[in-house]
Structure 1
């Protein structure tokens, strides 16, 4: 299972559509979140059919810019909560309609002077419910200076406000595999700038369910943003450790033990090797012990 999130900078070019189609086929995501689609609803519907992800929420472009989409395959139990020009919020259920968790695609305001509106929105979304929650997308902000390379330094107050917002919402960065940065301004020399604007964050409840989740930064030739591929690896249930077999001394005093061993060993079957006979004998003794004594350790403890 995976989730894909990408600031595609428009779905008007054939390369963007082709590249995303290839990523969807190879990673088989349960959700795809797109930022800056710059597409009308009619075009998005055709694009969704091409991806074979015909269900979802489309926030149309505003003029010639913007546009968000969260899409998924028909049959997936995904329920819409809310949306705006900056987010799409859904709840994901398993195949039995249980174990819900919340997934929010997010787009931070591109104007730094208005980014406080984005943080207020995220804090409002947090207050709506306390279920396991993961948020992904282009936040248009960084948390520390080392998430930016080149050109002018990022405003320290801007970064602090973003960190404060994540802290208030109880959201932790999932880290990443791949390039340190997710966006490049495409320039060269002293004006070249690389920034980690795109990320995945989640609360403790979500991390407890998906402790093996991993984020990959995937370079995309059709956009100046990397695609985020969030691979959902659920926490594996603890493995049952098979107890070693021990022959209990108390069995010797029971005449039935000899009968069990002789029956399990079966000396007439010459085709069965010694290891198989030992294994069969252990199994027979375990079953006999359980039927006669129950849990032998409890019996010995009581004595």
Structure 2
């Protein structure tokens, strides 16, 4: 049995460690046990799963994940919090202590070789200011990550799960679509955090489908690697109000060549980036390669 943390325990731990949550590290600690239970339930993890948690903080979600019987690899950049986490787990669920590994590292730079096992799921309350870069880095670095559930700022959640055609659709939307399908699954009230953030939060679930290994798509695109596709995506949205012919001029070498490549890919040069799906961007890259670039 693992005992979860409540508001009093969270504040007590913070006082003991002299922890003052900072905006720089995006520290907003969840102090509501019911929210933790909800996240764990939606994540669908259990005994035998190896779960990666980023930014465990004082351990609220960590305890909930361990309570399912899963093994948890917690990546924590703050050395004070990293040192205290195993103690908290031992105090509130001794039998679970052996299933926790704390890795003191920056999640934006952590490598697979630093982890004791291959995680199959990412479950985390992510710092708002680096949420998307962290998810993209981990998906690229850890092919074993098959699914995830992350708590992020609502605006970021909307972008992560957006499809082509809307104003919120952009670079995060397309790059995540390269790896799989994301969807916004639930809102999270501000009141469950300490300190209370000045933005709303939401949960985003993710299932890896690996665009690059989808046979039909790869055959249609002629085989496209991630870096090449991401470069086109970045160029297309750097000036999102421009047509793709203009926006991709720098990437292609000229507006004329960009227009020719778009036409070869079956895309109207007057189209804007927000109207294209990941498959469309793949065709642009394939057209560029076919032209000898």
The question of a shared fold, defined as TM-score above 0.5 by the shorter chain, is answered with: no
**Structure-1-length-normalised TM-score:** 0.33
Higher normalized helix content (fraction of residues): 2
**Structure-2-length-normalised TM-score:** 0.34
